[in-house]
Amino acid sequence: MEIEIFDVEHGSCALVTADNGARLLFDCGHNSTTDWRPSTSLPARGIHTVDALVVSNYDEDHVSDFPNVMRTLYVPTLVRNPSVGPRDIHFLKSEHGVGDGIGTLAHMAGNHYVAPLAQPLDLGGIQISYFWNIYPSFDDENNLSLITILRYYDFGIIFPGDMLQAGWRQLLARRDLQAALAGVNVFVASHHGRDSGYCPDVFNFCSPELVVFSDKAILHDTQKTAGLYRQQTRGVRFFDGETRHVLTTRNNGYIRFFKQGPGPAFAWISKK
Q: Which domains does the chain have, with CATH numbers?
A: 2-269 (3.60.15.10)
What's the mean pLDDT when you consider all of the chain? 93
Of 75-84, 162-171, 176-185, the range with the lowest mean pLDDT is 75-84
Percent of the chain with pLDDT over 90: 82
Q: What is the mean pLDDT of residues 180-195?
A: 97
Sequence-separated (6 or more) residues with CB below 8 Å from residue 77: 51, 52, 53, 113, 114, 115, 117, 121
pLDDT digits (tens, 9 = 90+) for 115-170: 555 567 889 999 999 999 999 999 999 999 999 999 999 999 999 999 999 999 99
| β-strands 126-131, 147-152 pairing | antiparallel
pLDDT digits (tens, 9 = 90+) for 30-62: 999 999 999 999 999 999 999 999 999 999 999
For the entire predicted model, the pTM comes to 0.96
Q: What is the mean pLDDT of residues 71-99?
A: 91
Confidence of residue 97 (pLDDT cuts 50, 70, 90): confident
Of 6-20, 22-36, 98-112, 253-267, the range with the lowest mean pLDDT is 98-112
Order of strands, edge to edge, in the sheet holding 186-188? 126-131, 147-152, 155-159, 186-188, 210-213, 246-248
